Amino acid sequence: MRRTYAQPPSRQRGATLIIALIFLVILSLLGATVASNNTLQERMSGNTRSRDLAFEAAEHAIRDAEIFLNNPDGDGVPANNAAYLAAHAVAGDINGLLSNGDAHDNDSTYWRDTFNWNGRIAPANLINGVNAQPSYVIERMGLTTYYRVTARGIGRSADTIAILQTMYQF
């Protein structure tokens, strides 16, 4: 009986190695893209959180200003709140209560770049997690009983600023 032996394989060409390397490169690129996208998503959520904190801080300041408008001297609501506030706005003896609400532009450039927020009224209750505590200013609008309250809140980052306004009338 005759035995047949398997022929030794002819030269190997290495196609499997090349295909495996191509798949490895594709998977590496996919992994780098996913990691980059994940980092971007984390930054966006952090910025959104900081913006929300700034907005909440400004809302807190607006609420504090409304309490102040209803009770400016802290001893109870004066009989004639509008007259009390008007007298102090003209005298300028309450920091943050101004009589010149009609004397300047009321746009974001003025409140962000021109207005000096240092030393303005800050709410009594502190807010955790913000870069700086919120503040507000109350302006009398001409000779009327209208007051414009402008509040500025700063989020976790000093670059995240929210400015809110409301009008108040007695």
- Cα separation, 137 vs 67, in Å, equals 13
* pLDDT at 102 > cutoff 80: no
Q: Which of 130, 123, 122, 120 is nearest to 156 (CA)?
A: 130
pLDDT band at residue 121 under the 50/70/90 scheme: confident
Stretch 65-87: mean pLDDT: 64
Q: Which of 5-19, 39-53, 59-73, 76-90 has the lowest mean pLDDT?
A: 76-90
